[in-house]
C-alpha cells in the first residue's frame, strides 16, 4: 500500500511540474474573445509578447504591449486583468457601479488596473489606492 501511495505522489508531482509552462504564441492563437477585446480597446498598441500558460487544471493567456500595458485572459478569452501604464483602463470595460463609485469618491483619480475573479473586482487608482469590490459592487477593502 505504501508503494502505491508513493508512486501516486511521485506521478502527481511529475505531472504538476510538467504541466505548468508558458509558451509564446501568435495573436491568431488567442481565443476569439481575447482577439476582439484587443482590437476593440487596444487597437493602437503594438504587441510585444503573447504567452499561453497551461497548468494541470487551467489555461490562461498574457498579452504585453510595447508601451508596458498588460492584459490577462482566461481559457475562454474573457479578460481577468488589465494593467495600464501609459493610459487609463478603458471605461467601457469597467462596470458602471465601479465607475460611479470612483467618480463620486476620487474624482481626480484614474483607474490604472482592474482585476476580476469569482469573488469580485479589484482596482488600482492613480492616487495609489487599491479598492476591492464584491460581485454586488460593494466596497469590501481599501488599501493605500
Q: What is the CATH number of domain 21-87?
A: 3.40.1420.30
Do the domains at 21-87 and 89-143 have one common CATH topology? yes
pLDDT of residue 20: 55
> Considering the chain, what percentage of its residues have pLDDT values greater than 90?
81
Give the pTM.
0.84
**Looking at the predicted structure, is the pLDDT value of residue 33 above 60?**
yes
Q: What is the CATH number of domain 89-143?
A: 3.40.1420.30
pLDDT of residue 3: 53
How far CA 4 is from CA of 1, 11, 12, 129, in Å, comes to 5, 10, 12, 51
Helix or strand (DSSP H, E) at 134: strand 130-134
The domain spans of the chain are 21-87, 89-143
Q: What is the pLDDT of residues 71-114, one digit of tens each?
A: 999 999 999 999 999 899 999 999 999 999 999 999 999 999 99
Amino acid at each position: 500500500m505504501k508503494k502505491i501511495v508513493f508512486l501516486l505522489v511521485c506521478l502527481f508531482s511529475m505531472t504538476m511540474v510538467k504541466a505548468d509552462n508558458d509558451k509564446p504564441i501568435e495573436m491568431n492563437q488567442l481565443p476569439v474573445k481575447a482577439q476582439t477585446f484587443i482590437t476593440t480597446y487596444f487597437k493602437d498598441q503594438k504587441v510585444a509578447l503573447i504567452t499561453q500558460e497551461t497548468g494541470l487544471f487551467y489555461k490562461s493567456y498574457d498579452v504585453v504591449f510595447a508601451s508596458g500595458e498588460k492584459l490577462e485572459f482566461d481559457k475562454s478569452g474573457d479578460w481577468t486583468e488589465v494593467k495600464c501604464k501609459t493610459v487609463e483602463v478603458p471605461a467601457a470595460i469597467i462596470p458602471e457601479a465601479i465607475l460611479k463609485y470612483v467618480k463620486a469618491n476620487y474624482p481626480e483619480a484614474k483607474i490604472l488596473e482592474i482585476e476580476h475573479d469569482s469573488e469580485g473586482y479589484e482596482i488600482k487608482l492613480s492616487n495609489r489606492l487599491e479598492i476591492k469590490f464584491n460581485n454586488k459592487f460593494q466596497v469590501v477593502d481599501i488599501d493605500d
